[in-house]
Amino acid sequence: MPAKEEPHHRLFVAIEPPEAVREVLSALPERLRGVHWTPPHQYHLTLRFIGEVPASQVGRIREALGKVRVEPFLLPLAGVGRFPPRGRPRVLWAGTGSGDPRLFQLRQQVDDALLACGLDLDVRSFQPHFTLGRCNREARESALAAFLRAREGFAGPLFRVREFVLFESELLASGARHTPLERYPLREDGARELC
């Protein structure tokens, strides 16, 4: 009899915005053919998409992330754009302007913790953003360009980042469901230890 396969969990690490930021972001979308807009309750800034991991590894990941040490910081909400910048657009996003050095410090420490757990991470550059919507093949380039032009000076409120979150993402017929597994308060209180 074949061994039963271990269940896997699809994980990512992110910052959740406060309600005031969700409200500002939710005012940006408009009716555009071929664009599926992100529901406001799902807005988040991904620090690291982990992907599928065996259930037996989730505890180590949770423990390692608990050792990240970065103090709280203020993050701006500024700029809009698309991924990729050339070719057929797949994502419309709102950015964080020039950000804050501690955002990049947080990303690096999260990566260090996950690497110490033996995870294989995609090392592409980090461009912090909130996904506003995803574009399918029906999206018209001219309409998307007009949407971005009309919002090119976009700026929202500064917001304080006080925690980051480990999420599980389930892909359902109705869309993705993101469930927080653990919240990690930001603090600077001593040397970090990893796995």
Active site residues: 44, 129
Nearest to 127 by CA among 83, 71, 74: 83
Write the CA distances from 143 to 31, 35, 81, 147, integer angstroms. 10, 10, 13, 6
CB 110 within 8 A of CB 146: no
Nearest to 162 by CA among 185, 182, 183: 185
Write 153-156 long-range contacts (CB < 8 A, 24+): 154/28, 154/78, 154/79, 154/80, 154/94, 155/76, 155/77, 155/78, 155/79, 155/97, 156/21, 156/24, 156/25, 156/76, 156/77, 156/78, 156/94
